[in-house]
Amino acid sequence: MFETALRAIVEETAGGIAAVLMGYDGIAIEQYSQPREGVELQLIAVEYANVLKEIKKTVEILNIGRMEEVSIKTSNFFVVIYTLTDEYFVALTLERDGNFGKGRYLLRREAPRLLQALT
Amino acid sequence: MFETALRAIVEETAGGIAAVLMGYDGIAIEQYSQPREGVELQLIAVEYANVLKEIKKTVEILNIGRMEEVSIKTSNFFVVIYTLTDEYFVALTLERDGNFGKGRYLLRREAPRLLQALT
């Protein structure tokens, strides 16, 4: 159930590398990734959770609404994080020159399916 | 010099609210904002710096390259942050339904001008 949605997100996004459904506690529920060397998904997941917790706190301090989406572009990768509930989120990692817009669209498209499976 | 670039970023982005050029220490060099009630720019600036420092640290831990751009979407606002140097970045806040793509483009377009004025 989870895997179908995660695979769709990764495979339909040009440059998609991996998608992970996880909790803010840093524990992944499910993940799907293209075969690729040198990407330590578990480490990345925990760090995602940490940084997202920090952003969530900031958004609350600033009182600028509920955090929905965070994207981080580095010289090597693009990471798009989409919040599902107060406990869970889904993160997509893609190549720097991957289709960021398509990735965001797919995260939104698959969110209801992931949410339904979660609850 | 700074103000011309910041104003261009805000005014040419549909839904643009404010742009601020600042250091990771949370001290703003220059800012430009549309007249608007209830937005505490100084507080926002400090919090931006904090969250960005956290993301920067994470990107370094994960060894996924140099942080270039971060965007945060909440139920009320869109924030796009573009790194200029190891010390300075520029942040654009726009309405949630503002033109995010245009904002990112303008940040990139004005970055060399801001960089030149910084150094």
Find the CB nearest A58 among B50, B59, B69: B50
Residue A40, pLDDT score:
65
Residue A61 has pLDDT above 90, yes or no: no
Mean pLDDT of all residues in A61-70: 86
Average pLDDT over every residue of B37-65 = 77
Contact state of B65 with A76 under an 8 Å Cβ cutoff? yes
Tell me the whole-structure pTM to 2 decimals.
0.87
Given this model, what pLDDT does residue B21 score? 93
How far apart, in Å, are the Cα atoms of A25 and each of A43, A65, A114, B40, B96? 13, 22, 18, 31, 28
Give CA–CA dist A90/A42, Å, rounded.
14
Of A51, A67, A77, nearest to B58 by CB-CB distance is A51
**Residue B97: C-alpha distances to residues A59, A61, A110 (Å):** 18, 22, 21
User: Which residues of A make CB contacts under 8 Å with B?
Assistant: 43-44, 47-48, 50-51, 54-55, 58-59, 61-62, 64-77, 96
Cβ contact B59–A72 (<8 Å): yes
Residues 6+ apart with CB under 8 A from B104: B69, B71, B80, B82
In this predicted structure, the answer to whether residue B39 has a pLDDT above a threshold of 90 is no
Whole-complex ipTM: 0.85
Q: Is the pLDDT of residue B42 over 70?
A: no
- Round the CA-based radius of gyration of chain A to a whole number and report it: 13
What is the number of CB-based contacts under 8 A between chain A and chain B? 80
pLDDT value of position B27: 87
Chain A residues within an 8 Å CB radius of B59: 72, 74
Instruction: Round to whole Å and give the CA distance between B50 and B56.
Output: 10
Interface test with A, best of B41, B52, B58 (most A CBs within 10 A): B58
